[in-house]
Amino acid sequence: MFFFISSWIQFDRLSASINAAQDDPIATVFSDYEAKNPTPDIDYLKWKTRTLLERDVIGHRYRQVNATLLLRAWTCHLGFLTGMILSFIGGIFILTKLSEDVTQIGAEGGGLKGSLATSSPGIVLTVVGGVLMGITLVADYQFTTRDIPAYIGPEGHGGAALPQDLPDLSDETSRKEEEADLFKSQGEAK
């Protein structure tokens, strides 16, 4: 029962941390601009549409990576937990000196070959559980995501002219100044 409860708590914590809501600074910029200019021009609407689409694309990419991360962590957790339960039950069988006819188990692969012949099912369960725990510890899961713009080109605005009141961040210096202002204002809000 303890293993089930710990597994459930682990899954719930990991799921909650991955699905945590994030602040949306883009919405703040748009609402500030729209408050100053109640009738936006067509260039602003094009730029806003592309920006919102790009934000959604990036959000979906990272949600997919987060789902993959959750699945891999859950798989490792369950594999290790199953191996631990098998080893625990095998240990109980060994301590109670349970025995039966000779059991043989063997494995071969990657230039390695191993076999085990015993009359104690506890030893078999302990070995299989230990191997399963070892595999989950050394299994290497790799996944990557690439942030390639889908709607906003490398010039930063997808070919649409930027509205006059919005900063042009295509220049490295102005982008760093804007980021410094953004992070400074976020630090003051905390």
pTM metric for this prediction: 0.57
189 pLDDT more than 50: no
- The pLDDT tens digits of the residues spanning 141-163 come to 777 777 777 777 656 555 555 55
Q: What is the largest CA-CA distance in the chain?
A: 86
Torsion of CA 50, 52, 57, 60, to 10 degrees: -170
Q: Rounded to whole angstroms, how far apart are CA atoms 132 and 81? A: 9
List C-alpha distances in Å: 15 to 4, 21, 58, 115, 130.
16, 12, 20, 40, 28
Q: Rounded to whole angstroms, how far apart are CA atoms 76 and 161? A: 49
Q: Are 167 and 176 in contact (CB under 8 A)?
A: no
Of residues 128 and 101, more confidently modeled:
128
Q: How many CB atoms lie within 10 A of CB 130?
A: 15
Three-state DSSP class for 170?
coil
